[in-house]
């Protein structure tokens, strides 16, 4: 899949350029390209898993709905808290980076891929939402404190990011997981691998940037939380086999 190969190349380059803040202002649109490429991989996963038509429609609805929610939250201070996007994450549409919708498609489909072994839809949605929230525990500090992609109006102890933001992320991820179509056929191992790789490379990228920026608390929280989720998931898979 060409999008996946391009994504991996973009990721490897981004580890250096974004990590060491070497991207000039006129090239900041490249951050959105990174998310769009990841989103294309996620759409491919959705089309294989839910059927081409339903997977494409589900992806479009997720992208549009989450983009709209993000826009409403930024303009009216609802859902996540009080914040505003800056011009450091172009291109913007109605004041919202277009890459945001693609990012949510990635997170939803990655959550689905990571929890394929769970049989109960409610548990699956719960665990998938937790993966998304843990990602945001390192993503948001980097995007706000280091990169300045958005600005929070909060005095929270966790880098000035309010609890309502993480609660909002959890609720949206949880509800969307519950609303996903039923699986038409299990995705191939290759498709699952690609989706998982996209998710974990994003995690690695943000932890890497956080380390370079000395956001040690965010790194520790993310690593411990992801480790617990992975241990719990493997324990569940092991118990299911016995």
In DSSP notation, 79-98 reads: SS-SEEE-TTS--EETTEET
The length of the chain in residues reads 242
Residue 18's SS3 state is coil
Q: How far is CA 220 from the centre of its chain?
A: 19
Q: Which domain holds residue 103?
A: 2-231
pLDDT digits (tens, 9 = 90+) for 56-82: 999 999 999 999 999 999 999 888 999
pLDDT of 23 over the 90 cut: no
Mean pLDDT of the chain: 94
Residue 92 bridge partners (DSSP) = 97
| Residue 236 included in any domain | no
| Residue 238 included in any domain | no
Q: What are phi and psi of 52, to 5 degrees?
A: -55, -50
Query: pTM of the prediction?
Result: 0.95
| Residue 130 included in any domain | yes
**Structure confidence at residue 242 as a pLDDT band (50, 70, 90):** low
| Residue 239 included in any domain | no
| Residue 213 included in any domain | yes
pLDDT digits (tens, 9 = 90+) for 176-201: 999 999 999 999 999 999 999 999 99
> How many structural domains does the chain have?
1
């Amino acid at each position: 899949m060409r999008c996946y190969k391009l994504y991996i190349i973009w990721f490897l380059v981004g580890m250096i350029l974004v990590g060491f803040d070497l991207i000039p202002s006129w090239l900041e649109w490249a951050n959105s390209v990174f998310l769009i490429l990841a989103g294309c991989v996620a759409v491919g996963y959705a089309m294989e898993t839910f059927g081409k038509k339903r997977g494409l429609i589900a992806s479009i609805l997720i992208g549009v709905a989450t983009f709209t929610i993000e826009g409403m939250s930024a303009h009216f201070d609802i859902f996540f808290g009080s914040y505003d996007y800056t011009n450091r994450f172009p291109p913007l549409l109605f004041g919202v980076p277009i890459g945001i919708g693609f990012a949510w498609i990635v997170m939803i489909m990655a959550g689905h891929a990571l929890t394929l072994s769970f049989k109960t839809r409610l548990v699956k949605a719960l665990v998938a939402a937790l993966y998304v929230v843990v990602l945001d525990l390192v993503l948001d500090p980097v995007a706000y404190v280091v990169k300045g992609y958005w600005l929070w109006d909060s005095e929270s102890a966790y880098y000035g990011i309010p609890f309502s933001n993480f609660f909002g992320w959890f609720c949206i991820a949880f509800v969307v997981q519950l609303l996903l179509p039923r699986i038409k056929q299990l995705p191939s191992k290759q498709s699952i691998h690609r989706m998982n790789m996209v998710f974990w490379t994003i995690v690695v990228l943000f932890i890497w940037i956080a380390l370079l920026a000395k956001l040690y608390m965010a790194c520790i929280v993310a690593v411990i939380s992801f480790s617990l989720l992975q241990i719990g998931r493997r324990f569940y898979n092991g118990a299911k086999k016995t």
